[in-house]
């Protein structure tokens, strides 16, 4: 039996099926692309890096933590937030309604050593002042109004000196002239006068060269 060739230009039945299949696949692809475009979906094979998520730590000081009373005063305490020290307000009980200078210093130091309150923590605040730090008045005969620490000021943790200096100099009873004279242990009491400078507030290494020597 002799098979005759199909006339030139006439597609075989298998070819017609393949063509129809290709056409249907192309139509489906176009429909899918149109749907993606209509939904606003960007087609890409390259990961898109939009950068880190914005920080939620605003360092906005929360309000004072209690309602003031007859034996309560507002203290401005400097805490650490976003690589700087920033003041927050706290209501502090005043025993018998009175405090002398050294009593006020100890009250402020105790506030700095406390763990931040819940609202302060949520706002991004922390403290670097060690719980072991103590401060006392210099014995008579030394520089008037100077305070001795049981640690050298430059040996305090990062920002702890800034917290201490800025908190003490913000209190008019402790520092009427907005400066404070501090020294280390009595056997090594090299006194320096400190103010709450912008460098001290914003640089963790500023404690090394901070303050002015007192003769």
Q: How far is residue 187 CA from its own chain's centroid?
A: 37
Beta partners for 73?
92
CA distance 107 to 96: 14
pLDDT of residue 185: 84
Q: Which residues contact 115 (CB under 8 A, 6 or more apart)?
A: 127
The token duo for 154 is: 């430059």
Specify the pTM.
Answer: 0.70
The pLDDT value given to residue 143:
79
The residue with tokens 């009595």 is 186
Cα–Cα distance list, 117 to 8, 32, 44, 58, 89 (Å): 91, 55, 47, 16, 11
The predicted pLDDT at position 140 comes to 66
Question: What local confidence, expressed as pLDDT, does residue 188 receive?
Answer: 60
The pLDDT, as a whole number, for residue 68 is: 60
Mean pLDDT per block of 10 residues along the chain (215 residues) reads 45 45 48 43 41 55 65 86 92 70 90 93 95 84 83 90 96 92 79 94 88 86
pLDDT recorded at residue 138:
74
Strand partners, 183: 148
Predicted confidence at residue 105, as pLDDT, reads 92
CA-to-CA distance for 114 and 136, rounded, in angstroms?
19
Asked if 87 and 119 touch (Cβ cutoff 8 Å), the reply is no
Tally of CB atoms within 10 A around 77 = 28
Phi, psi of 48 (to 5 degrees): -100, 125
């Amino acid at each position: 039996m002799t098979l005759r060739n199909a006339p030139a230009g006439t597609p075989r039945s298998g070819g017609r099926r393949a063509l129809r299949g290709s056409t249907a696949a192309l139509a489906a692809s176009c429909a899918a692309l149109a749907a993606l475009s209509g939904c606003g979906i960007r087609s890409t094979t390259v990961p898109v890096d939009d950068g880190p998520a914005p920080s939620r730590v605003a360092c906005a000081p929360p309000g004072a933590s209690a309602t003031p009373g007859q034996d309560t005063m507002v203290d401005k305490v400097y805490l650490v937030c976003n690589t700087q020290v920033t003041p927050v307000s706290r209501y502090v009980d005043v025993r018998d309604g009175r405090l002398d200078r050294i009593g006020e210093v100890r009250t402020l130091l105790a506030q700095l050593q406390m763990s931040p309150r819940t609202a302060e923590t949520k706002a991004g605040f922390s403290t670097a002042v060690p719980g072991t730090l103590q401060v006392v008045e210099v014995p008579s005969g030394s520089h008037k109004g100077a305070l001795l620490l049981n640690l050298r000021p430059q040996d305090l943790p990062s920002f702890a000196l800034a917290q201490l200096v800025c908190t003490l100099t913000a209190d008019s009873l402790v520092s009427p002239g907005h400066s404070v004279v501090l020294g280390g242990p009595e056997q090594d009491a090299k006194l320096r006068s400190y103010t709450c400078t912008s460098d001290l507030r914003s640089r963790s290494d500023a404690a090394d060269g901070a303050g002015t020597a007192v003769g």
